[in-house]
Each structure stands twice: as structure tokens, then as C-alpha cells.
């Protein structure tokens, strides 16, 4: 339709006549009279393209290193913080904050607390060190004493 409007403008036809022809040919699918007038005006002012001008849009995502670091810092300070609170304090949408936590920081909420979903190298080393200490503590008493070890986390 834009091409038809463009060609008819070049031939000097009015917006009203172009619109009437489009209504006859296209019926309900035709552009409204206001739209035809707008395109006629743009073509008469020298526009050559049949496409809309690019419009400024907001960035597709606000996830960057600074955002990720800020959310990680907030979670480290308060592991019980909610996604809604993080959203409010960081000025981000609920969905963006949830994406940062689950996909970038690889954390999930367990018992109302954010915990890492995957163990980092430091946490693995820490677990190996604790296990070695337990083994050294119970080794003199024989392997049967190992069955007396009970472990749990802080939650």
C-alpha cells in the first residue's frame, strides 16, 4: 500500500483520492485516511523510503557486569533478601533480577535463602579441607568411629 501511495503522490494525486481508491480495492484492510494523509505528507516532503524511520528503543537488556556485581553484593550481605527487594533497590524489573540470580549467578532459593547452585572452586576446596580435618580427628579411633559423624548445613 505504501508503494501505491508513493506512486500516486508522484503523479500528483490528493490523499483523499488515494484513500478512496485504497478503500475500494482493499476494503477493511486499507490504511485509514489519517495514515494515508501522513504518508502523502512524508512523500511530498521528499521521503523516498517506504519504511518507517528507526525509533529509539530501550536496550534489550540491562544485564551487565555492574548489575550482576550489585545483585551479588546484596545477596552476600543478606542471603534471605527477596527478588522484589532486589528489584526495588537496583531499579530493575523482577524478571531481570530473577534472570541475573538464576542464570548469571547460578543460584537458587532454598529454605528462603539464596545459595549457589554450583560449587565454586573455593567452596570445593573448603569442603575437602573440612573432610580432611574430620578424617584426621577420627582416624586414631578406627574406621568404626566414622559412622558417628553427623553433618548438616546452617539452614
d(CA 125, CA 6): 70
For residue range 58-88, what is the model confidence (pLDDT) as tens digits? 666 678 899 999 999 999 899 889 999 999 9
Mean pLDDT of the chain: 84
pTM above 0.85, yes or no: no
Other CB atoms within 10 Å distance of the CB of residue 31: 19
Distances (CA, A) of 109 to 2, 47, 66, 71, 106: 53, 55, 22, 14, 10
Q: Measuring CA to CA, which residue among 113, 22, 42, 43 is closest to residue 75?
A: 113
Q: Which residues pair with 41 in a beta bridge?
A: none
Amino acid at each position: 500500500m505504501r508503494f501505491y501511495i508513493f506512486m500516486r503522490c508522484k503523479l500528483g494525486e490528493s490523499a483523499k483520492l488515494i484513500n478512496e481508491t485504497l478503500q475500494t480495492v482493499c476494503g477493511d484492510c486499507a490504511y485509514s485516511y489519517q495514515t494515508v494523509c501522513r504518508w502523502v505528507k512524508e512523500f511530498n516532503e521528499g521521503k523516498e523510503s517506504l519504511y518507517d524511520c528507526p525509533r529509539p528503543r530501550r536496550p534489550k537488556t540491562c544485564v551487565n557486569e555492574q548489575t550482576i556485581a550489585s545483585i551479588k553484593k546484596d545477596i552476600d550481605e543478606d542471603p534471605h533478601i527477596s527478588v522484589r527487594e532486589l528489584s526495588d533497590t537496583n531499579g530493575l524489573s523482577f524478571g531481570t533480577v530473577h534472570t541475573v540470580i538464576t542464570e548469571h549467578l547460578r543460584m537458587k532459593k532454598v529454605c528462603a535463602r539464596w545459595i549457589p547452585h554450583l560449587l565454586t572452586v573455593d567452596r570445593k576446596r573448603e569442603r575437602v579441607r573440612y573432610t580432611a580435618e574430620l578424617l584426621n580427628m577420627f582416624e586414631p579411633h578406627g574406621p568404626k568411629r566414622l559412622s558417628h559423624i553427623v553433618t548438616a548445613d546452617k539452614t
